[in-house]
Structure 1
Amino acid sequence: MMDISSFKYIANNQARKIETEHLSVPFMDQEVIGKVRSFHKRFPEYQVTPLHSLKALSRRLNVQNIWIKDESYRFGLNAFKVLGGSYAVGKYLANKLGMDISDLSFEILKSREMKERLGEITFVTATDGNHGRGIAWAASQLGQKSVVFMPKGSSNIRLNNIKKEGAEASITDLNYDDAVKLAKHYADENNGVLVQDSSWDGYEEIPTWIMQGYCTLIDETLEQIEIEGSEWPTHVFLQAGVGSFAASVLGYLITKMGKNRPITTIVEPNEAACIYKSVEVNDGNPHAVTGFMPTIMAGLACGEPSTVAWGLLRDYADMYISCPDYVSAKAMRMLGNPLPGDPRVISGESGAVGLGVLSLIREEQVLHQIASQLHINADSRILIISTEGDTDPEGYRNIVWDGMYPSF
């Protein structure tokens, strides 16, 4: 029997009531979206990542369509994070040069002339793996240095992948949020540049650039859906750590679709549900989860909401779900062993959880109330974004091969 006692949710009944006729997100307007997409298109490694349609699973779960955006193909780095990190690095360098990012590309930034004008720069960050690897890759491409701090319990495979990109990297004895503080201290003491998607009062410009960088993946997605001749999604499930990715996608959808945007559900692991906790406290402010966060969803193991992301998620998301690790593990197995006719997708622990939530609220009678509140039915068109592949191959095999974190 499945234990759903630790599966928690809060509906935001005000999300559709506080809006004006002309919704807008100041940092995610059409001009920004165009600049971000254009910047990424200039990378030699740039390719649109796959959008899979799971038709057989859609029939099983009695919905019209389920799309999976597969970010395991992004720039050969197996995760989406490089989109935000590379754009933030590009914006920082453009500002330092007194230029508009529209006039720059990575090829120009890599040139000897630009390197001489910029001098040596050290980019510093804290990460569970994917973000740090993206920063290390971007810095290496530009002939610059990077220093990466990882929280306690981080995968050695992820650590080594960061080092392979040329970074000075180490696993600390700290949780994620304290690793961020360590990175900030290091940057301050060593004249480095902190590139972090966490944000706080006084540190919001670079995190905003990171969020803008993420919009490439959702811009691609809507374009792919249009090309296949389908209508846009009615629902989207967005996983959250500090909330930057989720708020980026939600902000983009508000800009593009306004009141007609998809019903949006924010998903977090129980051990690190800082957005859920902030909504539950219900005083309008972000609240932190403290201590170590032993979840398999390492990319979501963050205790402090981003101040840039929080307001968007608080006001415009429709539901917040906190779930146990087995939810993600189940979805990893579902995607890795698909129904006949559906494509196989290799999705990591932080990438698969949205599908896990969807499958449970459609299949488990005791969770049907959630589907009802979200208005999920046979006409629903649902978007899931698999933000990473098997970035920890050993952990992936433990779950998919050996059945760790079973549903029952």
Structure 2
Amino acid sequence: MRDIESIKYITNEDARKVDNKKASVEFIDKKEVKKVRSFHKSFLEYKVTPLHSLKELSKELGVSNIWVKDESYRFGLNAFKVLGGSYAVGKYLADKLNMDISELSFEKLRSKEIKEKLGDITFVTATDGNHGRGIAWAAKMLGQKAVVFMPKGSSEVRLNNIRKEGAEASITDLNYDDAVRLANKYAHEHNGVMVQDSAWEGYTDIPTWIMQGYATLIDEAIEQIKEEGDIPTHVFLQAGVGSFAGSIQGYLAAEFGSDRPITTIVEPNEAACIFNSVKEKDGEAHAVTGYMPTIMAGLACGEPNIVSWGILRDYADMYISCPDYATARGMRILGNPLKGDPKVISGESGAVCLGMVSLILGDSNLKEIAKKLNINKDSKILVISTEGDTDPISYKKIVWDGAYASI
């Protein structure tokens, strides 16, 4: 019997008092997103990633459409994270050169002339895998060095993929947030540049640039959907520290205003820092501490990004904390689609939103969630598969062998 009680939710309306003053989303408006897209388009590796329409699954679940944005194709790195890391590195270097990033292509940054002006730089970060691989790749492409720290329990495959990009990388015995602190200490002691999507007092510029970098994928997705003559009514977003979710939520608020899609934030039970912060109802961010043994490694983060927290608090409509079987179900559905639907290889942090959509619409015990979100036969739902099989061993255990069963 499925453990439905392990799925918890709270609506924005239930969580906080009405307050007309909301966090600013100016940092991710049309003007800024145009700069981000132009920078990413200057990469030789740039291609718009696929947007899949799951028409048969939509019929099965009783909605008009479900789209999946497939980030496993991003720059050949099997995940979206490189968008944020590369843009933040670009912005940092542009500032160092006293230039606006709109004046710099990635190819220009790679030039011998620019490298001589910049000298040697070491970029430092903490990661479960995807972000660190993106930073390592960007550093290598620019002829610079990267040092990467990974939390306890990180995949050896992800570690080796980071090392293949030329970075110095190691798995620590710390949880994610403590690995971030270790990386920050290393950067200070070795004159390095900390490139992290976590944000704290005194460290907000680079996390903001990373969030801006993520906007490329949602700008692509909305463009692709509009080309079909449509627009999503609902968007589900997974959250770790909240940088990705805050970026997409901020973009939707800036782009659509009060007509924005209804948005749901989804987190693993073991690391639900956004959900727990909202539940406190005091408007403040609250950390989850200790070891976070979820298979959703990319979401196993305990301290909310202070830049994204206000956006998620003020603009999201619902917050869900869920068990690992939700994402395992999503991985299996995407990897074994109904006849006529495309196959999508989605990893543990990539498939949780599709898994939750399938549960909300397919399990009568969760119909109250669908009702509160106003999901019906006319609903058009967008989810984002943020990674492919970045840990192939774990992927096979789940999709082939049925680990983390959802029945």
**TM-score normalised according to structure 1 size:** 0.98
**Deviates most, 290-299 or 9-18:** 9-18
Q: Secondary structure at the match of 2:293?
A: coil
**Contact 2:84-2:211 at 8 Å conserved across structures:** yes
What is the aligned-residue identity percentage? Answer: 72
Question: Over residues 211-268 of structure 1, what are the superposed CA-to-partner deviations in whole Å (9 max), with x where a residue is unaligned?
Answer: 0000000000011111122x21000000000000001001001111001100000000
Kindly provide the amino acid, as one letter, of the partner of residue 121 in structure 2: I
Kindly provide the amino acid, as one letter, of the partner of residue 196 in structure 1: Q
**Contact 1:212-1:248 at 8 Å conserved across structures:** yes
Question: Over residues 12-67 of structure 1, what are the superposed CA-to-partner deviations in whole Å (9 max), with x where a residue is unaligned?
Answer: 117896458x9951211211010000000010000000000000000000000000
Match of residue 143 from structure 2? 143
Segments of 5+ residues of structure 1 without an aligned counterpart are none
d(CA) in 2 for partners of 1:228 and 1:380? 15
Kindly provide the amino acid, as one letter, of the partner of residue 265 in structure 1: T
Match of residue 365 from structure 1? 364
Match of residue 401 from structure 1? 400
d(CA) in 2 for partners of 1:93 and 1:406? 46
Distance of aligned partners of 1:76 and 1:16 in 2 relative to their CA distance in 1, 3 Å threshold: farther
Match of residue 265 from structure 2? 266
d(CA) in 1 for partners of 2:332 and 2:374? 26
Q: Secondary structure at the match of 1:68?
A: strand
d(CA) in 2 for partners of 1:90 and 1:3? 45
**Contact 2:239-2:267 at 8 Å conserved across structures:** yes
Kindly provide the amino acid, as one letter, of the partner of residue 370 in structure 1: I
Question: Over residues 311-363 of structure 1, what are the superposed CA-to-partner deviations in whole Å (9 max), with x where a residue is unaligned?
Answer: 00011100000000000000100000000000000000000000111111111
d(CA) in 1 for partners of 2:139 and 2:122? 8
Match of residue 236 from structure 1? 235
Kindly provide the amino acid, as one letter, of the partner of residue 339 in structure 2: P
d(CA) in 1 for partners of 2:161 and 2:17? 43
| Shift, 1:366, TM fit | 1.1
**Contact 1:24-1:254 at 8 Å conserved across structures:** no
Match of residue 391 from structure 2? 392
Match of residue 77 from structure 1? 77
**Contact 1:65-1:381 at 8 Å conserved across structures:** yes
Match of residue 25 from structure 1? 25
Distance of aligned partners of 1:106 and 1:63 in 2 relative to their CA distance in 1, 3 Å threshold: same
Distance of aligned partners of 1:260 and 1:292 in 2 relative to their CA distance in 1, 3 Å threshold: same
Match of residue 214 from structure 2? 214
List aligned pairs for 1:14-93, cutoff 5 A: 18-19=19-20, 25-93=25-93
d(CA) in 1 for partners of 2:351 and 2:81? 15
d(CA) in 2 for partners of 1:362 and 1:313? 24
Distance of aligned partners of 1:266 and 1:163 in 2 relative to their CA distance in 1, 3 Å threshold: same
Question: Over residues 62-86 of structure 1, what are the superposed CA-to-partner deviations in whole Å (9 max), with x where a residue is unaligned?
Answer: 0000000000000000000000000
| Shift, 1:5, TM fit | 1.2
Where has structure 1 moved over 4 Å in runs of 4 or more? 14-20
Confirm whether residue 128 of structure 1 aligns to residue 91 of structure 2.
Answer: no
d(CA) in 2 for partners of 1:383 and 1:19? 27
d(CA) in 2 for partners of 1:17 and 1:188? 42
Segments of 5+ residues of structure 2 without an aligned counterpart are none
List aligned pairs for 1:1-400, cutoff 5 A: 1-13=1-13, 18-19=19-20, 25-229=25-229, 231-400=230-399
What is the count of residue pairs matched by the alignment? 406
Q: CA RMSD in A?
A: 1.3
d(CA) in 2 for partners of 1:182 and 1:78? 26
